[in-house]
Amino acid sequence: MNRFATTAFSMGHMARSAIALSLLLGSTALQAQAPADQPLPLPMEEVRIFTEALDNIRNAYVQPIDDKTLLEYAIKGMLAGLDPHSAYLNSQDYDSLQETTNGEFGGLGIEVGEEDGFIKVITPIDDTPASRAGILPGDLIIEIDGQLLRELPINEAVELMRGEIGTSIELGIMREGEPETLEFTLVREVIEVASVRQRALEPGYAYLRISQFKINTGEEVLEALTEIKAEHPELKGLVLDLRNNPGGILQASVDVVDAFISEGRIVYTQGRHNQSELEYFANEDDPSEGVPVVVLINSGSASAAEIVAGALQDHGRAVIMGTRSFGKGSVQTVMPLANDRAIKLTTSLYYTPDGRSIQAQGISPDIEIEEGLVTRTTGRAGITEENLEGHLRNGNDLDDVVREPTPSVTAEQVVVTDYQLQEALTLLRGLNILESARARQSRLATRATDTSLPDDGVTAR
């Protein structure tokens, strides 16, 4: 440390703050990169370049800028240069992250990222001003209240979108396929995120959606399964919708998978240090009771959503349907700093039970179904033999031959407006038909054995 200080002062016109930061960086690097008994030499040339750059900015920038701000920018730059998910969190960012994780915050209800200098909508959160206004995944927010956002840091754009509850905000949206900018006026409100919702699709089939993974998502899934089973005592199939789910807390994804399997590994992580290497296994209970499951994913399904899809796919517990997922296979650890600040640092990669890394690859669905809309035809149904007066009966006297009622549709008409969900429901019906056919064959075989002639010594002539 003395050697470094002497060298740094010999360079001349060095800011004390730069020396302090360099000392800190050197100390941190030693701790992270080598054991205490094998210290690495400080990268003196790089430290010299950094301090010279800092001094030039302080003395020559068009406007005066204090050392505290410059050093904060330096930390931001370090983390931004690592990967898209590591970041420096000032006090406001840190508060926002905690609010989002806990599931309640004020704003519009949009998950955003950056693309080509613009703010890109990853997904609107269900039942929020953004989703109700019709904002879609992939939209580019180019204006907020008339202010162009080109090259505006994402954290500043997020702050512009947040504000006092009940106040309005105007967004300029660029959408693929639309020749002109779309204008949306939204009213800010408290965003209370219900991460799990469920409803009936038709008798015997249910729909369960997870919009994001927060602290108590696992508990919400267990409650939803209990309600579903109460409404459908003979549940034939379940659609688990993870589309446009940006992820969230790792443990929450583990809890969700554990609700559908009763044994085996769920996910594991690998990093540079032992504390980053974790492994999660299922408990013996199976709250889902083995009901057939179809999982819907798309390019907006990321992180924790991919953990769930990958685990259920590897265990053969569900059919994965939709389009390839986002491919975020890294785990971020939030490390608090002084003065209510923190860094969000990528510390490990996660792997599916079979050892697949999802990073930059995503989960490939078992059945690829593109998004689309389905319309129901109207008019007179076709005439069949059973419609003809005096038609012959078919002679099937088996008790298990029962005509299924015409499937019902929810009030939201979701199965006729959501093509992927319609296909998932069709697949579940097919799986149930196949299982019913196997059971029927088993009963017929048993019945044939029971009705055979007794061995009474009489031979038929």
Residues with a known catalytic role: 303, 314, 328
- Amino acid (1-letter code) at residue 373: L
The distance from CA 207 to its chain's CA centroid, rounded to whole angstroms, is 17
Q: How many CB atoms lie within 10 A of CB 39?
A: 13
Question: What DSSP state is assigned to residue 322?
Answer: E
Per the listing, tokens 């209990």 go with 226
Pairing of strands 367-368, 319-322: parallel
Distance CA 241, CA 366 (A): 15
Neighbouring residues of 297: CB distance < 8 A, sequence distance ≥ 6: 242, 243, 305, 306, 309, 320, 321, 322, 323, 324, 325, 363, 365
* Cα dihedral 117/119/121/125 (nearest 10): 150
Q: What are the CA-CA distances from residue 277 to residues 214, 221, 263, 381 (Å)? A: 22, 27, 20, 60
Cβ-count burial of 305 within 10 angstroms (0-12 exposed, 13-18 middle, 19+ buried)? buried
Backbone angles phi, psi at 115, to 5 degrees: -155, 120
- Both tokens of 251, joined, read 């443990």
Distance CA 256, CA 348 (A): 21
Beta-strand ranges (E) seen in 338-376 are 341-351, 367-368
Cβ-count burial of 184 within 10 angstroms (0-12 exposed, 13-18 middle, 19+ buried)? middle
Q: What are the CA-CA distances from residue 334 to residues 150, 191, 330 (Å)? A: 28, 23, 13
Distance CA 301, CA 165 (A): 29
Find, among 257, 278, 259, 437, the residue nearest to 349 by Cα.
Answer: 278
Q: Measured between alpha carbons, how far apart are the two ends of the chain, in Å?
A: 110
Q: How many CB atoms lie within 10 A of CB 140?
A: 19
Residues in the chain: 461
The distance from CA 98 to its chain's CA centroid, rounded to whole angstroms, is 17
Find, among 80, 84, 93, 89, the residue nearest to 330 by Cα.
Answer: 84
